[in-house]
Amino acid sequence: MLIRFSGSASKTWERVTSIFSDYLWKFVHRPSAIEMPRSKRRHHSRSRSRSSGAYREKRPKRHHDSEAESDTRQSNTSFDGSSRRRRERSKRSHHRRSPDSSRRRNRDRHREDKSSRRHHKDRDRKEREDRTPVKKQPSVRDDADGHLIYHTGDILHNRYKILATLGEGTFGRVVKVKDLEMEHTMALKVIKNVEKYREAAKLEINALEKIAEKDPTFQHLCVKMLDWFDYHGHMCIAFEMLGLSVFDFLRENNYEPYPMDHVRHMAYQLCYAVKFLHENKLTHTDLKPENILFVDSEFTTTFNGRKNREVRRVKCTDIRLIDFGSATFDHEHHSTIVSTRHYRAPEVILELGWSQPCDVWSIGCIMFELYLGITLFQTHDNREHLAMMERILGTIPYRMARKTRTKYFHHGKLDWDEKSSAGRYVRDHCKPLHRYVLAETPDHLQLFDIIRRMLEYDPANRITLGEALRHPFFAKLPPAQRLHEKCNENSVSASSSRERSHSLSR
């Protein structure tokens, strides 16, 4: 239905409508109810957070005269409400960080955490290292027996390079070394890191130095000491390089006995060398085939048809005497027991005291072994050893049996049961000395004569080495091998020259 108003009524209606619209606008568009689109709000807030300050706008003056003013008032009121709300949100969001800043902080925090973890790991490792004692690998080690642990190529004393192992004994080991200063090979005796062997090595060094003083040209066939030093508790002695020992050559030759001429020459050299020691008041005390070395152990091989095998024959029978670790001067303390079992003299077993004649007994046993290739007294018991002596050499003198403080004798007679297993072994494996002779020829008989005189029970009646060198057994030696005669000639010529010089000085 169309309603028409008059002019005055129309103005009145417009006035009422304007008032009602103004009131309704104020009610609907309160500042707290004004909102912006979410996208604009977020963007505006972000832009506000990046701004340097808040908005500073003057509140518009309120006018109610016309519709234009009303519209302006309405728009200003709306903007002012939204502006306040944005400022409040800007305050809340001012401390928020943009996604880029958050990623940067997370990255920095990760770096800090990683650095902190690394720092803590380093600190923990250092603490563990401080708590755990540092175990350095020792440069020099010994085995359970006191032997030096070494390898080929090791250098000792910054001079001697190890090339090979030559042998081993109770004292230690002997190695082949190269002298890096002199550029030649030699034998180095490395003593065990054990007190008693170390002291014995010092005595050996002392004996070798005294021998070198008395025999600077080493004409008396004792081994030449080149150097010595203490290597971390191991006494080391350097010697000239020699060949195999008499025993090792015998063993590698299936214990084939040496020829008679070899036995003669080697026995003569042994007597000559030990005689030199005795003249200087020194007793070796440990003579045995292992301590007699060939200067050069090269050999030739021949076939033995009777034994159906090849037999070695050493080319040169020149020897050197070694191992002075038990050598004792007359003025030094004499141990109760000396010598290796098989070559031990009866006065040592009976503890009657000993001196140089005990070496002569050992030489007699060695000559027997060179001749037959077997040990004369193969035993490890004192009582059995004495029983073997009586079986081979006859009854032990009553005077010695009564003088000993050992319990091997009863009323001057050896306390030995011949019917026991040990007694039967001695009876079956031992026989009188003369029955060991292989041939009834002068050479063999003379050999056993000198052996018998060396194996005299009473050391006072035992042959001396000076007498042994003049024995007929050595008469067949070529003049070039009779060293004692050369020595006598040299001494005579030296004394005569001194006499001539003395007469000229007068």
319 burial level (CB within 10 Å; 0-12, 13-18, 19+): buried
Closest CA to 176 of 192, 160, 165: 165
Instruction: Give the Cβ contact number of residue 300 at 10 Å.
Output: 9
Q: What is the 3-state secondary structure (H, E, C) of 363-408?
A: HHHHHHHHHHCCCCCCCCCHHHHHHHHHHHHCCCCHHHHHHCCCCC
Question: Can you say whether residue 195 is alpha, beta or left, with left for phi > 0 and alpha for psi between -120 and 50 degrees?
Answer: alpha
Which amino acid is present at 273? A
Contact (CB, 8 A) for 376 and 463: no
d(CA 25, CA 69): 14
- Whether the predicted pLDDT of 38 surpasses 50: no
23 burial level (CB within 10 Å; 0-12, 13-18, 19+): exposed
User: What is the CATH number for 319?
Assistant: 1.10.510.10
Catalytic residue among 154, 248, 286, 359: 286
- Whether the predicted pLDDT of 316 surpasses 90: yes
Could you give the angle at which helices 260-279 and 357-372 cross, rounded to 10 degrees? 170
* Same domain, residue pair 368 and 272: yes
pLDDT score of 20: 72
286 is known as an active-site residue: yes
Contact (CB, 8 A) for 345 and 357: yes
* Same domain, residue pair 302 and 202: no
Asked whether residue 348 is assigned to any structural domain, the reply reads yes
* Same domain, residue pair 214 and 271: no
Six-digit token string for 32: 């707290």
Closest CA to 370 of 267, 483, 274: 267
What's the number of domains the chain is made of? 2
User: What is the CATH number for 157?
Assistant: 3.30.200.20
Question: Can you say whether residue 225 is alpha, beta or left, with left for phi > 0 and alpha for psi between -120 and 50 degrees?
Answer: beta
Q: Would the annotation count 431 as a binding residue? A: no
* Same domain, residue pair 453 and 318: yes
* Same domain, residue pair 302 and 449: yes
SS3 456: coil
* Same domain, residue pair 302 and 234: no
Confidence of residue 139 (pLDDT cuts 50, 70, 90): confident
* Same domain, residue pair 327 and 356: yes
pLDDT tens string 178-202: 999 998 999 999 999 999 999 999 9
pLDDT tens string 286-306: 999 999 999 999 999 999 888
pLDDT score of 483: 86
DSSP 287: -
Lowest mean pLDDT among 117-126, 164-173, 439-448, 461-470: 117-126
Domain boundary among 180, 215, 240: 240
pLDDT tens string 373-423: 999 999 999 999 999 999 999 999 999 999 999 999 999 999 999 999 999
- Residue 149: which residues within 8 A CB-CB, separation 6 or more? 141, 142, 143
76-79 contacts at long range (C-beta below 8 A, 24 or more positions apart) = 77/26, 77/29, 77/31, 78/29, 78/31, 78/34
Asked whether residue 124 is assigned to any structural domain, the reply reads no
- Please give the full DSSP string across 18-52, using - where no structure is assigned: HHHHHHHHHHHT-GGG----HHHHHHHHHHHHHSS
312 burial level (CB within 10 Å; 0-12, 13-18, 19+): middle
Asked whether residue 60 is assigned to any structural domain, the reply reads no
* Same domain, residue pair 332 and 373: yes
C-alpha distances out from residue 264 to 169, 274, 366, Å: 28, 16, 12
DSSP 471: S
Asked whether residue 370 is assigned to any structural domain, the reply reads yes
d(CA 154, CA 177): 10
d(CA 74, CA 9): 27
- Residue 182: which residues within 8 A CB-CB, separation 6 or more? none
Provide the terminal-to-terminal Cα distance of the chain, rounded to the nearest Å. 185
pLDDT score of 357: 98
Asked whether residue 74 is assigned to any structural domain, the reply reads no
* Same domain, residue pair 379 and 481: yes
- Please give the full DSSP string across 172-223, using - where no structure is assigned: EEEEEEEETTTTEEEEEEEE-S-HHHHHHHHHHHHHHHHHHHH-TT-TT-BP
d(CA 317, CA 481): 11
- Whether the predicted pLDDT of 52 surpasses 60: no
pLDDT score of 334: 94
Instruction: Give the Cβ contact number of residue 175 at 10 Å.
Output: 24
Confidence of residue 504 (pLDDT cuts 50, 70, 90): very low
- Report how far Cα 494 is from the mean position of its chain's Cα atoms: 51
pLDDT tens string 200-245: 999 999 999 999 999 999 999 999 999 999 999 999 999 999 999 9
Count Cα atoms within 13 angstroms, Cβ side, for 479.
1
* Same domain, residue pair 359 and 460: yes
Asked whether residue 21 is assigned to any structural domain, the reply reads no
Range of the domain at 271: 244-489
d(CA 448, CA 433): 8
* Same domain, residue pair 171 and 306: no
Confidence of residue 450 (pLDDT cuts 50, 70, 90): very high
pLDDT score of 502: 43
Asked whether residue 76 is assigned to any structural domain, the reply reads no
Domain boundary among 240, 267, 287: 240
Asked whether residue 223 is assigned to any structural domain, the reply reads yes
Domain boundary among 195, 223, 240: 240
| Dihedral, 290, 471, 459, 364 alpha carbons, nearest 10 | 30
d(CA 106, CA 118): 18
DSSP 245: B
Confidence of residue 106 (pLDDT cuts 50, 70, 90): low
- Whether the predicted pLDDT of 500 surpasses 60: no
d(CA 94, CA 50): 8
- Residue 172: which residues within 8 A CB-CB, separation 6 or more? 146, 147, 148, 189, 190, 191, 192, 197, 234
Q: What is the 3-state secondary structure (H, E, C) of 324-362?
A: CCCCEECCCCCCCCCCCHHHCCHHHHCCCCCCCHHHHHH
* Same domain, residue pair 364 and 474: yes
Instruction: Give the Cβ contact number of residue 17 at 10 Å.
Output: 10
Six-digit token string for 453: 């005189």
